[in-house]
Amino acid sequence: MADFYQNGIVTTLHNLTNRSNEDLEQELMSFAEKRPMGLILPSLFSELEGDALPDIIDKLAEVPYLNEIVIGLDRADKAQYQHALSFFKKLPQHHRILWNDGPRLQALDAKLEKLGLAPKELGKGRNVWYCMGYTLASGRTESVALHDCDIVTYEKSLLARLIYPVANPQFHYEFSKGFYTRIADGKMNGRVSRLLVTPLIKAFKRVIGENEYLDYMDSFNYPLAGEFSFRRDVLTDLRIPSDWGLEIGVLSEMQRNYATNRICQVDIADVYDHKHQNLSLDDAEAGLSKMSIDITKAFFRKLATQGETFSNEAFRSLKATYYRIALDYVEKYHNDALMNGLTTDIHLEEKAVEMFARNIVTAGQRFLDNPMETPFMPTWSRVISAMPTILDELKEAVELDNEEFSKE
């Protein structure tokens, strides 16, 4: 059971009493009268054939307070989209599937590309971006949650606790970040968060000094969690990256756009497990190696906007500082695991730290080599300004896909 310690400048909402999900849902039903709620599910077609998503959909079908579910479907042909329509049909809530590879949404993407506004990189970030656009176009919800589709330990309480902070009319939070303990099969997981992000933030503080942004990022228990919720008005001016820096980028944008008393984090699960990425020690373009480079670049980009100047010498100093701090964390987590009857592989953990340290320099070099890189997708307010009909066209394309292929 969690303690009630507030450990940073962002409010932490704990799970202190294991309040029943039935009780939470009753309260959320009353909130729904003033703040209709929705859910975004960014999905690959392959996840429809896995073990996690069918279980998630079975449980979502029993959630009474959702007014809309928006599903972003990637890597699907026509037959697979039709299968997806059937797969999600069991959801009693109003729901729509964005067939991102379909001709209608591809044509809309081509229009945006001519204006220089289309997302440049395929992946979760692009999927989420279009789902956010549809949520704005639909106008059915005021409070929206987003979570991944590969959670093998999914429970309805995860969603209830995730959306509660932005659904409760007595609260003034615009954004809520989920967190949880990454433990499965007797092992401590979450290596990128434990062994890269946390020690990297500590290293930044030593190298460049105290910084409000770094204090803010250091407040999050699990900054790389893919689960968060927000009020609908957040969507218009949110600028998010399209690479593995998505979660760090979203947190950074929220700090830029809102006071910290409008942001919170919430404990959403006692146990959480999902699909794991390979460490990819020998391939900087795959797995956790690529993830670590993208995340580190996201930090460099954010700090550069605050006037920090980086050089090769600065990256080498940061690498050395990070490496020493991260090795200390390997020992801390190993001891914590042993006391709780869990296991960690010290050798593998230190190999991960060595790779992350190398990738700090790699990320720094890429940052310097591409000073004009613009990895962020445009805000929806900019897109609407350039193409005032975009939301209507997006909604129409999704509706036409749904009508046409539901009949076949």
- For residue 244, pLDDT over 90 is answered with no
pLDDT value at residue 183? 84
The model's pLDDT over 345-371, given as tens digits with 9 standing for 90+, comes to 999 999 999 999 999 999 999 999 987
- Coil, strand or helix at 98: strand
Residue % of the chain over a pLDDT of 90: 81
For residues 174-202, give the mean pLDDT. Answer: 92
Average pLDDT, the chain: 93
- Coil, strand or helix at 39: strand
The H-or-E segment that residue 136 falls in is: helix 124-138
pLDDT value at residue 5? 85
Q: Identify which of 344, 17, 353 has the alpha carbon closest to the alpha carbon of residue 182.
A: 344
Do residues 168 and 31 make contact, with C-beta atoms less than 8 angstroms apart?
yes
- For residue 1, pLDDT over 60 is answered with no
The H-or-E segment that residue 188 falls in is: strand 187-188
The pairing of strands 228-231 and 175-180 is antiparallel
For residues 169-194, give the mean pLDDT. Answer: 92
Residue with tokens 């979760």: 124
The model's pLDDT over 388-402, given as tens digits with 9 standing for 90+, comes to 999 999 999 999 999
| Beta-carbon contacts of residue 51 (< 8 Å; ≥ 6 apart) | 152
Kindly tell me the sign of the dihedral angle through the C-alpha atoms of 270, 275, 277, 278: positive
Q: Identify residue 36 by its one-letter amino acid code.
A: P
Q: And the tokens for 156?
A: 């309805």
pLDDT value at residue 7? 81
The model's pLDDT over 210-234, given as tens digits with 9 standing for 90+, comes to 899 999 999 999 999 999 999 999 9
pLDDT value at residue 186? 84
Confidence of residue 192 (pLDDT cuts 50, 70, 90): very high
CA distance 351 to 374: 32
The model's pLDDT over 286-319, given as tens digits with 9 standing for 90+, comes to 688 999 999 999 999 999 989 999 999 999 999 9
Q: HEC states along 262-319?
A: HEEEEEEECCCCCCCCCCCCCCCCCHHHHHHHHHHHHHHHHHHHCCCCCCHHHHHHHH
pLDDT value at residue 273? 83
pTM of the model: 0.94
Confidence of residue 372 (pLDDT cuts 50, 70, 90): low
Task: Give the side-chain half-sphere CA count within 13 A for 189.
Answer: 19
Q: Tell me the C-alpha to C-alpha distance, in Å, between residue 157 and each of 22, 23, 73, 78, 149.
A: 9, 10, 24, 34, 15
Q: Considering just the CA atoms, what is the radius of gyration of the chain in Å?
A: 21
- For residue 277, pLDDT over 80 is answered with no
The model's pLDDT over 31-53, given as tens digits with 9 standing for 90+, comes to 999 999 999 999 999 999 999 99
For residues 98 and 239, which has the higher predicted lDDT (pLDDT)?
98
